[in-house]
């Protein structure tokens, strides 16, 4: 006899996939921060326009999206064999491949690899996955200091802050705030430092150069891993990644298992889609690729760590698995009206915005991120811009259903909302019951309404009337009017109300 | 063109809260020479249930819609989001619970179900419906009209042909108003922030009327404008298209909350 234990999820207590409060509560606080609102509005508006212009240049954009979607779907369908292929190629070329079930295991492996070098410092390329697993905290616990070298990640690290965007993690900070952080935390900065962006960049450059030249271990994520060749690829804008990937003696790359592409040729599609979607550039400034170890050139020790941390569980969900196609461009964040107003921190997870709302609950289990699938008006703007055509609204709707179904199984008594929904379904499934409910609504409306509008409704509808008037139900419903005007004629074939007994 | 017999799915919202929208739809289609029927067994498309996670509770509503409109040649509804639910979600709900027969029936009915502007321009092939509406109007393309149904500029083509109507472009038109069904209650603060920006855009146009193809979004925008006593009213597209110089749905009668 065998017992199915379920797919391993990202464990609690390690990493940054779970928030400490529900989305509506965190969002409410963020909405009140006028500086944050201004920073987000300005940044997302600018980047939206840049993306739209860059995308508009390509006549075959929609075909590129179709190709990317097909490549990713094929990759996920054969992920097991592609991963083994990648492992074999990397090993052949002198790299060492490690497999980590979850964040805790990944952190242990990386810390052990760093300790084996005798180093107590690492320089890091910006990477979502190492933030997902909370690597910096884990390394610190083992006496290893991790230095973020991406400008925005540096701002976050120095400010003891949390990233709020996939691509521009300090999007919630403006330059005056950044100047303050640098003056306070960098130690030897010229006090005359202004908030002029080139001056801020120069201060960061001087600070980081010392780290690059001293570091013996580099840690990176990966944008793509090519199964066919064993090549890893990082795309970036600042050149800090190139420094970290080439200067240290040892390079440790942490890669989620979904970052795979089958063949080298697939990069043709993805290297067109990613920069245009992400920064609105035709091509990103730095594209670094490496395959295992090259004697006399670059790091002479290379470790590739392949991370699950809930990804196999997502892969097991026939609808939800498309979220694994994500290439972390963040175009969906920049067009999302919810993200633009609530900001990234409200999502709790390192993956914010629409993609985070479908990815985080799948990695942790829906119950641990239960408010995220509802953190969307389902406006669909995210789907339109997604370079790999992830139907995010449909996955959100699917995860809401998963949440409701899990709640139904776990609760001894149904929630008030579940009772209301079941009652509404019962009423609406029969036209006599529906007409009775309409009459009741009309009577209630006449009690509550003043001057053709309702200014206050009882909870939970009080959330509506906090900022909006509600309409008063009409004294004569449409169907009553129809009956008065038309009687039973003209009578439609179905007019007797087939299915009323349903 | 030959007269078409059109079944009206009025939507639960218009039936109960905005019957004028249903009446205007009937008036308009009859004026264009078509026969409108109203199958009494109808109630709701189930969108609220589906989008709140209660897909099992939506199943009877999906079945009812497929049953009630089974033999109709064309079904019209004055709502982009209800048409979106019918066309993009009904079969999905049926399949989730293993009812392939219902899924196929739902798909067949969905293929003959249209949002109002689609029916007018794609099926009835009319862009000038002979309407008269002497007001300054701005049009909000609701998210599901725009990105689920892809109605594009069909509503605008209809509005441009309305005599007397001054159409003003809405800045940031494609941005969601923040309604999102139960989103407006579950995430009411974020919804309100989105609404504030939409209202500002509407007010910036100097229009006296904001129109759209969905009573739900208009209820949201109109509810906000009404609370602020902003002096702008929301009017459904059907009401504008139904208005004539002499007809019963004259320009003064249209008005949501």
Q: Is B189 on the interface with A (CB under 8 A)?
A: yes
The pLDDT value given to residue A2: 60
- Among chain B residues, CA nearest to A395: B51
For position B153, which CATH number holds?
3.40.50
Q: Please tell me the number of Cα atoms within 13 Å of B229 on its side-chain side.
A: 1
- Tens of pLDDT, residues B28-51: 999 999 999 999 999 999 999 999
Are A337 and B194 in contact (CB < 8 Å)? yes
Question: In terms of domains, do B162 and B195 share one?
Answer: yes
CB neighbour class for A297 (10 Å; exposed up to 12, middle 13-18, buried from 19): exposed
User: Stretch B210-229: mean pLDDT, rounded?
Assistant: 98
Whether residue B247 is contained in a domain is answered as no
The predicted structure's pLDDT at residue B3: 81
User: Do B86 and B170 share a domain, yes or no?
Assistant: no
Task: Give B-chain residues touching A338 at CB under 8 angstroms.
Answer: 187, 190, 194
Q: Are residue B16 and residue B114 in the same domain, yes or no?
A: yes
Residues of chain A below pLDDT 70: 1-5, 488-502
Residues B100 and B152 in one domain: no
CB neighbour list of residue B196: distance below 8 Å, 6 or more residues apart = B224
The pLDDT of residue A495 is: 41
| Residue B63 with chain A: CB contacts under 8 Å | 499, 502
Residue A186 and residue A203: Cα distance in Å, rounded? Answer: 9
Q: pLDDT (tens digit, 9 = 90+) per residue, B10-24?
A: 999 999 999 999 999
Are B29 and B81 within one domain?
A: yes
Same domain, B61 and B119: yes
Judge residue B78's burial from the number of C-beta atoms within 10 Å of its C-beta, 0-12 exposed, 13-18 middle, 19 or more buried: buried
- Name the closest residue on chain B to residue A375, using Cα atoms: B187
Give the pLDDT confidence score for residue A4 in this predicted structure.
Answer: 66
Mean of pLDDT over chain B? 95
Side by side, the strands of the sheet bearing A260-261 are A260-261, A224-226, A231-236, A286-291
Sheet with B74-77, edge to edge strand ranges: B35-37, B5-8, B74-77, B113-115
The answer to whether residue B248 sits within a structural domain is: no
Q: Is the peptide bond before A460 cis (omega within 30 degrees of 0)?
A: yes
Q: Which chain B residue lies closest to A335 (C-alpha atoms)?
A: B175
- Residue burial B199-221, b: 16+ Cβ < 10 Å; e: rest: bebbbebebebbbbbbbbbbbbb
Query: What φ, ψ does residue B123 adopt, rounded to 5°?
Result: -95, -50
Say what the ipTM of the complex is. Answer: 0.96
Domains in chain A (CATH in brackets) are 23-312 (3.40.50.10420), 428-486 (no CATH)
CB-nearest partner of A380 from B58, B64, B147: B147
Percent of chain A, pLDDT > 90? 89
| pTM for this model (two decimals) | 0.95
Nearest residue on chain B to A500, alpha-carbon basis:
B41
CA distance A288 to A303: 16
B49 and A CB contact within 8 Å: yes
* Residues making up chain B, counted from first to last: 257
What is the domain range of residue B100? 5-123
Contacts of A205 by beta carbon, 8 Å cutoff, 6+ apart: none
Looking at the structure of chain B, the number of domains it has is 2
State which of B72, B88, B123 marks the end of a domain.
Answer: B123
Cβ count near A42 (within 10 Å) = 12
Domain membership of residue B253 (yes or no) is no
Q: Do A378 and B39 touch (CB under 8 A)?
A: no
Residue that finishes a domain, picked among B123, B151, B177: B123
Task: Provide the pLDDT for residue A431.
Answer: 87
């Amino acid at each position: 006899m065998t017992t199915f234990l379920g797919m391993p999820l990202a464990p609690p207590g390690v990493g940054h996939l779970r928030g400490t409060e529900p989305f509506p509560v965190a969002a409410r606080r963020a909405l009140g921060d006028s500086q944050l609102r201004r920073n987000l509005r300005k940044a997302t508006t600018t980047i939206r326009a840049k993306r739209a212009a860059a995308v508009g240049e390509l006549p075959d954009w929609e075909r590129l999206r179709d190709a990317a979607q097909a490549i990713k779907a094929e990759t996920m369908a054969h992920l097991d064999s592609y991963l083994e292929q990648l492992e074999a190629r990397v090993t052949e070329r002198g790299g060492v491949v490690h497999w980590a079930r979850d964040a805790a295991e990944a952190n242990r492996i990386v810390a052990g690899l760093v300790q084996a070098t005798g180093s107590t410092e690492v320089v890091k390329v910006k990477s979502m996955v190492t933030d997902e697993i909370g690597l910096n905290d884990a390394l610190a616990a083992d006496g290893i200091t991790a230095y973020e070298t991406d400008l925005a990640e540096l701002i976050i690290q120095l400010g003891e802050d949390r990233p709020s965007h996939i691509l521009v993690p300090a999007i919630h900070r403006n330059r005056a705030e950044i100047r303050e952080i640098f003056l306070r935390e960098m130690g030897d900065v010229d006090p005359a430092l202004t908030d002029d962006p080139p001056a801020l960049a120069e201060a960061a450059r001087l600070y980081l150069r010392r780290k690059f030249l001293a570091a013996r271990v580099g840690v990176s994520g990966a944008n793509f891993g090519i199964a066919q060749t064993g090549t890893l690829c990082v795309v970036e804008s600042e050149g800090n990644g190139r420094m970290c990937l080439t200067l240290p003696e040892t390079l440790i790359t942490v890669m989620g298992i979904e970052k795979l592409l089958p063949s080298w040729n697939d990069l043709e599609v993805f290297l067109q889609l990613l920069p245009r979607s992400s920064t609105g550039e035709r091509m990103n400034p730095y594209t670094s690729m490496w395959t295992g170890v090259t004697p006399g050139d670059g790091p002479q020790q290379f470790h590739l760590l392949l991370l699950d941390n809930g990804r196999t569980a997502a892969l097991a969900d026939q609808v939800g698995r498309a979220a694994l196609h994500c290439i972390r461009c963040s175009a969906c964040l920049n067009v999302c009206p919810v993200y633009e107003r609530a900001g990234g921190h409200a999502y709790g997870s390192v993956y914010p915005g629409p993609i985070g709302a479908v990815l985080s609950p799948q990695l942790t289990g829906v119950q641990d991120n239960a408010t995220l699938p509802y953190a969307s008006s389902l406006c669909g703007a995210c789907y339109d811009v997604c370079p790999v055509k992830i139907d995010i609204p449909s996955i959100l709707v699917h995860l809401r259903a998963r949440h409701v179904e899990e709640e139904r199984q776990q609760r001894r008594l149904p929630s008030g909302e579940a009772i209301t929904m079941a009652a509404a379904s019962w009423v609406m499934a029969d036209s006599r019951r529906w007409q009775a409910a309409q009459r009741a609504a009309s009577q209630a409306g006449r009690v509550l309404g003043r001057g053709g509008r309702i200014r206050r409704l009882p909870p939970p509808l009080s959330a509506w009337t906090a900022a909006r008037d509600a309409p008063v139900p009409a004294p004569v419903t449409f169907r009553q009017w129809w009956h008065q005007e038309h009687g039973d004629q003209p009578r439609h074939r179905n007019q007797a109300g087939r299915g009323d007994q349903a | 063109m030959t007269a078409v017999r059109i079944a009206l799915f009025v939507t639960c919202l218009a039936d109960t809260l905005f019957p004028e929208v249903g009446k205007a739809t009937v008036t308009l289609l009859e004026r264009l020479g078509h026969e409108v029927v109203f199958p009494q067994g109808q109630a709701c498309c189930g969108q609220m249930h589906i989008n709140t996670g209660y897909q099992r509770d939506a199943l009877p509503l999906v079945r009812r819609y497929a049953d009630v409109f089974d033999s109709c040649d064309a079904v019209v509804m004055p709502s982009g989001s209800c048409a979106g639910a019918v066309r993009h979600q009904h079969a999905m709900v049926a399949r989730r619970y293993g009812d392939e027969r219902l899924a196929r029936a739902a798909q067949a009915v969905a293929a003959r179900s249209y949002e109002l502007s689609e029916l007018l321009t794609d099926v009835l092939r009319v862009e000038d419906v002979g309407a008269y509406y002497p007001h300054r109007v701005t049009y909000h393309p609701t998210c599901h009209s725009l990105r689920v149904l892809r109605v594009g500029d069909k509503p605008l083509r209809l509005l441009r042909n309305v005599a007397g109507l001054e159409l003003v472009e809405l800045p940031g038109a494609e941005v969601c108003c923040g309604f999102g069904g139960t989103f407006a209650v579950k995430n009411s603060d974020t919804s309100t922030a989105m609404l504030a920006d939409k209202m500002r855009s509407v007010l910036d146009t100097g229009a006296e009327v904001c129109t759209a193809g969905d009573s739900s979004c208009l209820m949201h925008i109109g509810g906000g404008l009404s609370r602020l006593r902003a002096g702008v009213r929301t009017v459904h597209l059907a009401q504008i298209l139904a208005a004539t110089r002499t007809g019963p749905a004259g320009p003064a009668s249209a008005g949501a909350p």
